[in-house]
Structure 1
């Protein structure tokens, strides 16, 4: 039985309880056949000392959405997913509102996956461009 979009997103957000994603208030908000979108509020929790969005928080958002995209688009009955490399190029500062991370696959292999993650602000401005490599490993070996 295939779950509804709302059920998948609710399950994703429930899994985040007690984790870094909950600490940063990261929330999965939409997905389709080839993408997943998450958002994170920009406030003092994710600021650098000078009051702008911390690049590490942006990278955590990107890795969260990318890893979870691999998780929901692969057979997680047999495999678990781990991030193995992330790069982030930060292009614009943000001081308030939300940032949105949209993960899309560049490569969806059986063992490794490569995702492109674009992070934008409330106005659609590009904030960061990230790449995430993930690996799928067998659960029972």
Structure 2
């Protein structure tokens, strides 16, 4: 079994990673809008609305999880368990975010990063379960 401190550190890093995604995306809305317009998949305004809404809505969730782990909240596993179904869907949506980097990295690398991010919500859930067992 992994040491509790390692589990907590990994959980903190996961939350920081997601926070970074949201903040960087919100900081580059003009460039992302251009990418959406160029891709012509769905109406760019709808994609931008989803991006801004989910990023702004998930920032407080990630801050809560950061604080819960940092302050060793006893009820974190039960709270996370209730959040997980919705968080899973949103995290899977955000797993597509490396595709916004195709102007800077190869498509293959962006797909590789996307594959890793698809796994991350499940790894996060495993870490929370390990966190609960370490109490």
Q: TM-score, normalised by structure 2?
A: 0.30
Higher relative contact order (Cα pairs below 8 Å, separated by 6+ residues) = 2
Higher normalized helix content (fraction of residues): 2
The structure with the larger Rg is 2
Q: TM-score, normalised by structure 1?
A: 0.29
